[in-house]
């Protein structure tokens, strides 16, 4: 939590002013009972109506000052909280943008999203709380005790008793309820799980006629949830009446013992009434404080999650002095590359060496988990190799800047991530200077022209978040067109053809061959037919190269390749 | 996943006071009255209990209202005693009287608290019962709705009705209902007490109320706009973050980090502006309320003091009046808050009732035909079907499949290959035409019986969070462990299951990701073998399965198909070639049917598809 303090620094002046005003406000609020006491003592009891009016006017002025301070404090607190959270969001977002895949794996994308949104909102809330109440409540608490003590020492024990009871009751409720809260969260998750499973498996459930079974499964969780919630509800709803009861009893105690003090001339009646009000203020302050202490652990969890992100350094870093890349031909070489995911014990790639030549297609095939996509991910340095090296035109890719390296690579990832905007903005993503002609050419090669022109708005068709208004095949084709717009010397296709039907797949490969000319193409595929005609096919099994060559060569020499081929095609089609 | 999150976040906004501060606009139901009425019907069975709760609430409020008055009496007596002593006409203090006051008050406070506890206890029980009932009904309803319904709704929407919406209703039932009663009682009771002390002071108090109300209204109105904006920009920002984070490799590849950061900053600044404005404005409400209340306090102090000096009213009464006045503003803002909550509760309740009122599957036939002797002949007769009325996908399809024959369904992705399957199992009803199994219209079987004839192995392998044994027994709950193991052996599962940490007792995790995709597929095959269906439905697609497992899956599927009528969504050429009937689908419609040689000779869609799959590609 303290680590994020520096984000408050730009607002230290505002915070200082706010704290000063909080003192003013607290002093004003504490002064009101004093004036009331004067009204009673010097006014009413002495029958002096001038005193009544005079003190009344003072009271009015004081409460006006209090309200004005409170206004300004609210303004400052809002500025500080919203400003800090804005700054935090930019920092976190900027940081995450620079993360390599290793950090994304470590944190998980969904967690990074909540850290940037909900967790920061949490911080914003606590800042407002702390500025408005966290500082105000102790001032009132202490000030109230001082004022009360000045009026009467003999009644102090009532305050002590009241505060003690209050704190005990709150503590007790927490001890009872907090573990149950966690339980409820777990039960709700479980309920959600059952419903989600029911929705996902609706066909299966109906096919097997297991509706009753599912309803029972739901019912069991529902019953436990209901019981636990009932307990929590009963406890929490009794909190307010209990607080009221304590406050009332304390007031009563002040009255009873105060009355005796008044009769013994140890206390005057106005002071006794003021005393009652102080007691109220003190109790309220403690109530507020305990509420704050519930919030703080939650906020501090959020703060830790945020600082964790901010303190992570991306595993992939640029060298201080980088070699500039000029006139890249696209000869990509792996030299004895080993790779293991950060933190994992086992290597996923063992001693991988190959050369991908410009103008040729190098294809990778193998079972799931054999390391095909991992090879592709090493090239743009989403991860760095564990040992060995990768060179582009003879230069180690770690020697050049990330920006330059990536600008020479055209990647089509497995999942076609499109961005909100239009078809145009997606194809021209990152390439602001792309001409209309070039864009249409990319779309044509990617076999996307047909569906784009069938849309009413053509290239200006709106794309919803993550391209959810397009089919899988359409997204994939746009993602291919986007990569082609880069006119890169090296293209990386990471298993992006499986979302396409065979016909489109074939047409696309034909067009690609024609148009990409001297670029080197690296391609990961599941289907033999997609890669059958590649100049070089590399067969992977458990992270090792177990065969390389053309289709015909491999059919003779590589057993793994033959197995894959036979599982997909019949004998006659393979020749 | 993302759609789920959207559905719930759109409705609710992000958690925390940032989205729900005072003055935040409430979501409004379409028809408040109708929904309210329905909710009342739901509470109907608890009528008496709720009546008791309401009475308790009135008692509790009344007793606590009497408090200040009684305290005022004691105070007056104390002052009177003091003054009498000063002018030397009486006793110092009538302690007996004060003691009575204190004991009276003690009783009042305790009874009030007791009523409060009781009322909360009973109301918690009622609201939990209603919540439980609602959830139960929703979960049961889910199984009675036609699949058509779920085509229109995202999972997130359904999910949020069962959890979030029911929660909202439950919370309101639990708190707001009694709060309303308490607030109204307090309001009226306080008013009576204030009038009984001094009508003049009451009038003065009421002069202040409009000031308070007006100011609050003004701030609320101003802040609404900013709250709406804040929600809007927060949604936008979340969308941006989600998109960029999940596509971060693309952003990095295209070197767009700076451009995206700038875009982010733009939205972030907009959010900042609306966030602090709404925070500030809603934060103003408290000082306004307390200032106005202080204003009233001062005025009553002055006026009361003046009147007390003039001996028109007693000092204790001034003190009591101040307390009443202080507690007068509370129920007003409470009622304002509750009306807001009530709106959003009714909106939530409306969604729940909407779901419960959805049209269910067409009723079952009155005279169901038994399925015991079914051989597995299937006839499609002039079948016409569309997922929506406007868009008919299958126009006029007829064919006959004899018992034991296999049907291959082929076509490009998205051609609607599963439609036939869904019609066959009556997940959807036909627009016209009929499907017969063994010469009997499928509508003349009960849905349960009909579906029990089929065994289904889909690409989307559905398993649930339970042990492997339980998953295999799914649908054949009475099967013995030996039978399960026999089925597992037939499906080539036994070996890998035994190699797993707890063997058959291993619990699959929530995403069933602790076993591989291929293993999942094998498990669903074993499940189907155990189920022993008369007619089979298979989806051959085995992408993302490694080669060796795929060979196993194929062999298990082949075994399953022996001597059973089967419908196969085919990907393997051998399956297609060996099929007795091939149905070629395109854009939802069946465009060709026949066997492999017939279709090749036709030189139509099938021939083109067959050739493109294995041609040079140029």
- Identify whether residues B217 and B113 lie together within a single domain: no
State the pLDDT at residue A363. Answer: 92
- Average pLDDT (A437-463) is 87
Q: Which residue has the higher pLDDT, B164 or A136?
A: A136
For residues A245 and B189, what is the distance between their CA atoms, to the nearest angstrom? Answer: 19
pLDDT of A214 above 50: yes
Which pLDDT band, with edges at 50, 70 and 90, does A456 fall under?
A: confident
Indicate if B221 and B145 belong to the same structural domain.
Answer: no
Distance in angstroms (rounded) separating the CA atoms of residues B574 and B291: 85
The answer to whether the Cβ–Cβ distance between B248 and A506 falls below 8 Å is: no
Specify which residues A398 forms β-bridges with: none
Q: Do domains A1-152+294-314 and A416-486 have the same CATH topology?
A: no
DSSP per-residue letters across B526-546: HHHHHH--SEEEEE---TT--
Q: What are the distances in angstroms from CA B472 to CA A195, A273, B143, B201, B558?
A: 20, 75, 21, 78, 19
Number of compact structural domains in chain B: 2
Chain B residues lying within 8 Å of A70, measured CB to CB: 286-287, 290-291
Token pair for A431? 């390439």
Residue at a domain's end among B300, B328, B358: B358
Give the whole-angstrom CA distance, residue A508 versus residue A501.
Answer: 11
B118 & B222 share domain: no
Which range of residues forms the domain containing residue B135?
31-197+353-358
Name the residue among A427, A418, A426, A414 with its Cα closest to residue A468. Answer: A418
pLDDT in tens, B76-100: 888 777 777 766 665 566 778 888 8
* B418-442 as b/e: b if 16+ CB within 10 A: bbbbbbbbbbbebeebebbbbebeb
Q: For residues A73 and A61, is the Cβ–Cβ distance under 8 A?
A: no
Q: Kindly state whether residues B236 and B146 are assigned to the same domain.
A: no
Segment A423-439 mean pLDDT = 86
Name the residue with tokens 């944190």.
Answer: A107
Average pLDDT, chain B: 80
Distance CA A422, CA B493 (A): 48
Instruction: Indicate the pLDDT class of residue B547, thresholds 50, 70 and 90.
Output: low
- Alpha carbon distances (Å) from A72 to A24, A59, B211, B214: 12, 20, 21, 21
Q: Let me know: does A488 contact A410? Beta carbons within 8 Å.
A: yes
Q: What percentage of chain B exceeds 90 in pLDDT?
A: 4
Both B142 and B282 in one domain: the answer is no
Token digits for B236?
């936008």
Beta bridge partner(s), residue B440: B437
Read off the pLDDT band of A574 (50, 70, 90).
Answer: low
Task: Report the residue from B139, B150, B474 with minimal CB separation from A210.
Answer: B474
Contact A93 B264 (CB under 8 A): yes
Any B CB within 8 A of A526 CB:
yes
Is B180 inside a domain boundary? yes
In a domain, B447, yes or no: no
Say whether pLDDT at B523 is over 90. Answer: no
Structural class in CATH, domain A329-408+488-569: alpha beta
Task: Write the DSSP symbol of residue B27.
Answer: P
The residue among B512 and A493 whose pLDDT is bigger is: A493
CATH code where residue B135 lies: 1.20.1560.10
Instruction: Provide the percentage of residues in chain A whose pLDDT is more than 90.
Output: 16
Look up residue B308 and give its two tokens: 């007390």
Provide φ and ψ at B383, rounded to 5°. Answer: -75, 130
Tokens of B386: 């569309």
User: Does residue B45 belong to any structural domain of this protein?
Assistant: yes
A520 DSSP β-pair partners: A490
What are the C-alpha distances in Å from A127 to residues A7, A180, A296, A305? 11, 27, 10, 17
**Among candidates B143, B283, B451 on the partner chain, residue whose Cβ is nearest the Cβ of A77:** B283
Q: Please indicate, yes or no, whether residues B210 and B224 belong to a single structural domain of this protein.
A: yes
Give the mean pLDDT of A452-467.
84
Question: Six-digit token pair at B555?
Answer: 């062999």
| Domain-located, residue B153 | yes
pLDDT digits (tens, 9 = 90+) for B363-380: 888 888 887 888 888 898
Delimit the domains of chain A by residue range: 1-152+294-314, 153-266, 329-408+488-569, 416-486
Q: Decide if A429 and B250 are in contact by the 8 Å CB cutoff.
A: yes
Residue found under tokens 């999650």: A305
Beta-carbon separation of B269 and A564 below 8 A = no
Q: What is the pLDDT at residue B92? A: 62
In a domain, B87, yes or no: yes
Domain assignment of residue B254, yes or no: yes
Phi, psi values for residue A359, rounded to 5°:
80, 0
Whole-angstrom distance, CA of residue A127 vs CA of residue A15: 11
Q: Is residue A197 less than 8 Å (CB to CB) from chain B? A: yes
Residues in chain B, overall count: 618
pLDDT of residue B16: 35
Give pLDDT tens digits for A352-373.
999 999 988 999 988 766 788 8
CB atoms under 10 Å from CB of B205, counted, come to 22
Residue B81, CA distances (Å) to A45, A152, B95, B102 in order: 12, 21, 10, 17
pLDDT score, position B562: 78
One domain, residues B165 and B212? no
Residue B30 has pLDDT above 80, yes or no: no
Of A399-413, B78-92, B526-540, the least confident = B78-92
A234/B253 Cβ within 8 A? no
| B386 part of a folded domain | no
B295 and B192 in one domain? no
Kindly state the DSSP code that residue A361 receives in the 8-state scheme.
E
Nearest-CA distance B143 → chain A (Å): 6
Q: Identify whether B323 is part of a domain.
A: no
**Which residue from B57, B34, B307 is spatially nearest to B188, judged by alpha carbons?**
B57
3-state secondary structure B541-582: CCCCCCHHHHHHHHHHHHHHHCCCEEEEECCCHHHHHHCCEE
CA nearest to B300, candidates B200, B216, B213: B200
* A and B: number of Cβ contacts within 8 A: 439
Contact B575/B540 with Cβ under 8 angstroms?
A: yes
Instruction: For A525-555, write each residue's pLDDT tens digit.
Output: 877 878 888 889 999 887 889 889 998 888 8
The tokens for B189 are 């009771």
B169 and B302 both lie in a single domain: no
**Does A503 have pLDDT greater than 80?**
no
How far CA A446 is from CA of A328, A512, B253, in Å, comes to 24, 8, 19
C-beta separation of B381 from B434 below 8 A = yes
Q: Return the CATH architecture of domain A1-152+294-314.
A: Up-down Bundle (1.20)
Same domain, B224 and B174: no
Q: Is A229 exposed, middle or buried (0-12, 13-18, 19+ CB in 10 A)?
A: buried
This model's pTM is above 0.80: no
**Assigned superfamily of A416-486:** P-loop containing nucleotide triphosphate hydrolases (3.40.50.300)
């Amino acid at each position: 939590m303290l680590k994020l303090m520096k984000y408050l620094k730009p607002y230290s002046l505002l915070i200082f002013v706010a704290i000063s005003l909080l003192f003013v406000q607290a002093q004003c609020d504490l002064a009101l009972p004093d004036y009331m006491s004067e009204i009673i003592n010097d006014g009413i009891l002495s029958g002096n109506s001038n005193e009544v009016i005079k003190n009344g006017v003072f009271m009015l002025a004081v409460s006006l000052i209090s309200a004005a301070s409170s206004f300004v404090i609210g303004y400052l607190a809002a500025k500080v909280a919203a400003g800090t959270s804005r700054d935090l969001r930019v920092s976190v977002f900027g940081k995450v943008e620079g993360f390599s895949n290793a950090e994304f794996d470590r944190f998980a994308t969904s967690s990074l999203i909540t850290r940037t949104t909900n967790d920061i909102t949490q911080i914003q809330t606590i800042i407002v709380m702390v500025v408005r109440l966290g500082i105000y409540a102790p001032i009132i608490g202490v000030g109230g005790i001082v004022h009360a003590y000045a009026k009467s020492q003999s009644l102090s024990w009532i305050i002590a008793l009241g505060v003690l009871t209050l704190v005990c009751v709150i503590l007790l409720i927490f001890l009872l309820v907090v573990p149950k809260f966690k339980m409820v969260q777990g039960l709700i998750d479980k309920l959600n799980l059952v419903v989600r499973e029911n929705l996902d498996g609706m066909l299966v459930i109906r096919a097997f006629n297991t509706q009753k079974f599912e309803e029972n499964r739901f019912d069991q969780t529902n019953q436990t949830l209901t019981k636990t919630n009932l307990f929590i509800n009963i406890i929490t709803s009794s909190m307010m009446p209990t607080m009221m009861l304590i406050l009332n009893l304390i007031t009563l105690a002040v009255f009873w013992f105060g009355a005796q003090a008044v009769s013994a001339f140890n206390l005057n009646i106005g002071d006794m009434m003021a005393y009652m009000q102080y007691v109220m203020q003190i109790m309220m302050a403690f109530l507020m404080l305990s509420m704050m202490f519930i919030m703080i652990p939650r906020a501090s969890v959020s703060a830790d999650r945020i600082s964790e992100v901010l303190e992570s350094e991306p595993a992939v870093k640029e060298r201080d002095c980088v070699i500039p890349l000029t006139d890249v031909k696209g000869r990509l070489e792996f030299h004895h590359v080993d790779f293991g995911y950060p933190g994992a014990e086992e290597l996923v790639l063992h001693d991988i060496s190959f050369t991908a030549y410009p103008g040729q297609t190098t294809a990778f095939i193998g079972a799931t988990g054999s390391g095909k996509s991992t090879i592709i991910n090493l090239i743009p340095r989403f991860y760095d190799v564990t040992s060995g090296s990768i060179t582009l035109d003879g230069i180690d890719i770690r020697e050049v800047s990330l920006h330059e390296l990536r600008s020479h690579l055209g990647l089509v990832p497995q999942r076609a991530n499109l961005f909100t905007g239009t078809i145009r903005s997606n194809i021209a993503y990152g390439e602001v200077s792309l001409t209309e002609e070039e864009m249409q050419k990319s779309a044509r090669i990617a076999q996307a022209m047909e569906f784009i022109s069938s849309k009413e708005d053509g290239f200006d068709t709106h794309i919803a978040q993550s391209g959810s208004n397009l089919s899988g095949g359409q997204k994939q084709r746009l993602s291919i067109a986007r990569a082609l717009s880069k006119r890169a010397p090296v293209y990386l296709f990471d298993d992006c053809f499986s979302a396409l039907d065979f016909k489109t797949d074939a047409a696309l490969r034909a067009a690609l061959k024609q148009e990409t000319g001297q670029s080197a193409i690296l391609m990961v595929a599941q289907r033999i037919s997609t890669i059958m005609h590649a100049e070089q096919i590399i067969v992977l099994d458990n992270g090792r190269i177990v065969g390389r060559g053309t289709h015909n060569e491999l059919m003779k020499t590589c057993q793994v390749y033959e197995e894959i081929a036979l599982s997909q095609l019949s004998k006659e089609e393979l020749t | 996943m993302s759609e789920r999150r959207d559905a719930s976040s759109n409705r609710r906004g992000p958690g925390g006071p940032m989205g729900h501060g005072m003055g935040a606009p409430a979501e409004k139901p379409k028809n408040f009255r109708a929904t309210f009425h329905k909710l009342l019907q739901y509470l109907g069975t608890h009528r008496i209990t709720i009546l008791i709760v309401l009475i308790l609430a009135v008692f509790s409020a009344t007793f606590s209202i009497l408090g200040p008055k009684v305290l005022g009496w004691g105070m007056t007596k104390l002052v009177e005693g003091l003054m009498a002593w000063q002018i030397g006409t009486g006793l110092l203090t009538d302690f007996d009287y004060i003691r009575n006051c204190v004991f009276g008050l003690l009783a009042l406070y305790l009874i009030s608290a007791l009523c409060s506890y009781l009322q909360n206890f009973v109301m918690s029980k009622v609201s939990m019962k209603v919540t439980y009932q609602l959830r139960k009904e929703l979960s049961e309803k889910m199984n009675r709705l036609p699949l058509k319904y779920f085509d229109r709704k995202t999972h997130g929407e359904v999910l949020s009705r069962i959890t979030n919406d029911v929660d909202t209703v439950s919370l309101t039932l639990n708190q707001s209902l009694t709060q309303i009663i308490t607030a109204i009682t307090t309001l009226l009771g306080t008013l009576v007490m204030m009038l009984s002390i001094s009508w003049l002071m009451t009038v003065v108090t009421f002069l202040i109320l409009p000031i308070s109300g007006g100011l609050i209204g003004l701030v609320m109105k101003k802040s609404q706009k900013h709250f709406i904006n804040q929600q809007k920009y927060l949604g936008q920002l979340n969308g941006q973050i989600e998109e960029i984070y999940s596509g971060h490799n693309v952003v990095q590849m295209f070197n767009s980090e700076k451009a995206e950061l700038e875009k982010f900053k733009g939205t972030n600044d907009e959010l900042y502006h609306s966030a602090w404005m709404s925070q500030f404005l809603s934060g103003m409400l408290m000082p306004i309320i307390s200032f106005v209340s202080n204003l009233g306090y001062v005025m009553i102090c002055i006026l009361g003091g003046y009147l007390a000096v003039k001996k028109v009213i007693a000092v204790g009464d001034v003190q009591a009046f101040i307390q009443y006045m202080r507690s007068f503003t509370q129920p007003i803002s409470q009622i304002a808050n509750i009306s807001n909550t009530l709106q959003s509760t009714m909106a939530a309740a409306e969604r729940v009732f909407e779901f419960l009122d959805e049209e269910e599957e067409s009723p079952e036939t009155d005279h169901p035909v038994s399925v015991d002797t079914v051989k597995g002949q299937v006839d499609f007769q002039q079948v016409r079907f569309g997922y929506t009325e406007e868009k008919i996908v299958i126009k006029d399809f007829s064919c006959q499949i004899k018992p034991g024959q296999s049907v291959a369904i082929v076509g490009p992705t998205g051609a609607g290959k599963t439609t036939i399957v869904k019609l066959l199992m009556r997940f959807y009803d036909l627009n016209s035409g009929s499907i017969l199994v063994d010469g009997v219209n499928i509508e003349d079987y009960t849905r349960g019986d009909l579906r029990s004839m089929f065994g289904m192995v889909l690409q989307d392998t559905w398993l649930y969070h339970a042990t492997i044994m339980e998953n295999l027994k799914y649908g054949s709950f009475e099967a013995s462990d030996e039978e399960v193991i026999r089925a597992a052996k037939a499906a080539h599962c036994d070996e890998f299951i035994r190699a797993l940490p707890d063997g058959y007792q291993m619990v699959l995790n929530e995403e069933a990701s602790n076993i591989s995709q291929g293993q999942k597929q094998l498990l669903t095959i074993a499940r189907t073998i155990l189920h022993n269906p008369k007619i089979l439905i298979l989806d051959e697609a085995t992408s993302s399965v490694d080669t060796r497992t795929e060979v196993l899956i194929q062999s298990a599927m082949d075994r399953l198909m022996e001597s059973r009528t089967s419908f196969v969504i085919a990907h393997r050429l051998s399956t297609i070639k060996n099929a007795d009937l091939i149905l070629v689908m395109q854009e939802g419609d069946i465009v060709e049917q026949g066997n492999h040689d017939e279709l090749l000779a036709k030189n139509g869609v099938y021939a083109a598809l067959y050739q493109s799959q294995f041609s040079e590609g140029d």
